Amino acid sequence: MLITLKLFATFRNGRFKVAEQELPEGTDVRAVVLSLGLTEEEIGIVMLNGRHGELDSKLSDHDTLSLFPLVGGG
């Protein structure tokens, strides 16, 4: 399956802003996180198609996955 992966803030350093990724069916968010060399603890916000997701969330074809470190403002 093909997903769009978007990275934000410090996650972009040495990586990318956005990329298409071809992944095996049934891949979850955690596997993507680890494949980027990130740890679970570093993940602040997971967004899957504009809604909050979990590390356990399973990805489907054409999903957009966005990963943010813990950041905030106001």
Partner 1 sequence: MDKIFRVNMTDLTTKIEAVPAAWAGLGGRALTSTIVAAEVPPTCHALSAQNLLCFAPGLLTGTAAANSGRLSAGAKSPLTGGIKESNAGGTAAQMLAKLGIKALIIEGAPKSGTWYNLSVGINGVTINEEKELLGVGNFAVIDAVEKRLGKKTGVLTIGIAGELKMTAANISVKDPDSKIRSHGRGGLGAVMGSKQIKFISIDGEGAKPVTIADPEKFKTAARAFSKALLDHPVSGEGLPTYGTNVLVNILNEAGGLPTRNFTTGQFEGHDKISGETMHDTIAARGGKVKHGCHAGCIIQCSQVYNDKDGKYVTSGFEYETIWGLGADCCIDNLDDIAKADNLMDDIGIDSIETAVMFGVAMEAGILNWGDSKEMLRLLTEEIGKGTALGRILGGGAGSVGRTYGVTRVPVVKNQGIPAYDPRSVKGIGITYATSTMGADHTSGYTIATNILNVGGYVDPLKKDGQVELSRNLQIATAAVDSTGMCIFVAFPALDIPECLPALIDMINARFGIALTGDDVTNLGKHVLKLERKFNQEAGLTNVHDRLPDFFKNEPVAPHNAVWDFTDAEIDEFWNF
CB of 11 to partner 1, least distance (A): 10
Out of 14, 24, 37, 73, the residue judged to bind partner 1 by CB under 8 A: 73
Alpha carbons 15 and 17: distance in angstroms, whole number: 7
Strand order in the sheet with 51-52: 18-22, 2-7, 64-68, 45-48, 51-52
- Given candidates 8, 28, 38, 55, which one binds partner 1 under the rule CB under 8 A? 8
Q: Does 34 bind partner 1 (CB under 8 A)?
A: no
User: Residues 2, 16, 17, 26: which binds partner 1 (CB under 8 A)?
Assistant: 17
Residue with tokens 């957009």: 64
